[in-house]
Structure 1
Amino acid sequence: MGYISDIRKYVGHMPIQHTTASIIVENEKGEILLQKRKDNGTWSYCGGSVELFERVEDAAARELLEETGLKALSLELFGIFSGEEQHYIYPNGDEVSTIDILYICRSFTGALKCQPEEVESLNFFDISDIPESISPPTREPLRQYIEYRRGAMF
């Protein structure tokens, strides 16, 4: 199934360190793509677990394609997020301390298509009109991204 699923067979719901690769997609209008998650009903940027021996960039691109139908043509490292803000307990009880490696993608191809198992809807949003219901592990990285964008506008 996957690396995290294999670990969960041994540790159950206890906390694990979880490495993820994520992408904030920007369209030509400067809007960002968010997905409404099926597991907790909140909005998040795209991303997921890095598999054993997988390159982080490849994991980010794979997750983007799986979740949205978009193929990343370029990735720019935005930041690495860890610590207390990245502690999360999933609705199924799985607890993680996430290290999220976050990229920005401004060049992509494809048509939006939700991954039915994980994604309820996909929408582009202006950074001044982000939904209030943001998934907890993505709140701080998204806040920093918006701050970065606002600073770059002046």
Structure 2
Amino acid sequence: MAEGYVMDLRKKIGHVPMVIACASIIIYDEKRGILLQKRTDNGKWCYHGGSVEPNETVAEAAKRELFEEVGLSAGYMELYTVASGADQHFFYPNGDEVHIVDTVFICNDFSGELVLEETEVLDCQWFAFDNLPEEILLATKAPILSFCQEMLQKKLSGVTDN
């Protein structure tokens, strides 16, 4: 979680539970699979995203987070899901507790070269839809598994985005 609105609030309220609006993006390519990043704070794999800043739309936040974390620019995005509930209850290693409401987009229209934001991202790799890493962050696991299952079903039925 980068410096910004949420970190400013944390300086005032400490580690108490907060409901946080987040925006995320699942980057995919029908041939390469899904692009996941490995977090520095817990070593888990996840999609790209973070908290929404004041006056920012969720689409703007998702695009900003993608660029900040891995250096890619997103073009057209499609709303995929809004994740909330028990799986979105998260403790950061520093003790901050959050209940995330995550607006998740999907995108296969992206450009740029991978450049990792080393304070947040240890690694970034493509994974086949049927060969995901074991250590997926719980808060992102359900949308990732659901999306990959949908992509595998599309592949079996011969449907493509192109």
TM-score, normalised to structure 2, is 0.90
Query: In 1, Cα distance between the equivalents of 2:39 and 2:120?
Result: 6
Runs (5+) with no aligned partner, structure 2? 158-162
Aligned to 2:150, what secondary structure does the other structure show? helix
Aligned to 1:129, what secondary structure does the other structure show? coil
Query: In 2, Cα distance between the equivalents of 1:93 and 1:104?
Result: 30
Q: CA deviation at 1:126?
A: 0.4
Q: CA deviation at 1:129?
A: 0.8
Match of 2:57 in 1: 55
Give every structure 1 segment of 4 or more consecutive aligned residues whose post-TM-superposition deviation is greater than 6 Å.
none
TM-score, normalised to structure 1, is 0.95
Match of 2:89 in 1: 87
> CA-to-partner distance for each residue in 1:35-93, whole Å, 9 max, x for gaps?
01000001011001100111110000000011111100111100101011110111111
Q: CA deviation at 1:13?
A: 0.7
- RMSD, aligned CA: 1.2
Q: CA deviation at 1:146?
A: 2.1
Aligned to 2:130, what secondary structure does the other structure show? helix
Query: In 1, Cα distance between the equivalents of 2:75 and 2:26?
Result: 13
Query: In 2, Cα distance between the equivalents of 1:101 and 1:141?
Result: 11
Match of 1:12 in 2: 14
Runs (5+) with no aligned partner, structure 1? none
Aligned to 2:136, what secondary structure does the other structure show? coil
Q: CA deviation at 1:30?
A: 4.8
Which residue among 148, 152, 156 is the counterpart of 1:150? 152
Match of 2:127 in 1: 125
Q: CA deviation at 1:147?
A: 2.8
The one-letter code matched in structure 2 to 1:113 is: V
Which residue among 85, 91, 99 is the counterpart of 1:97? 99
* Aligned residue pair count: 154
Match of 2:71 in 1: 69
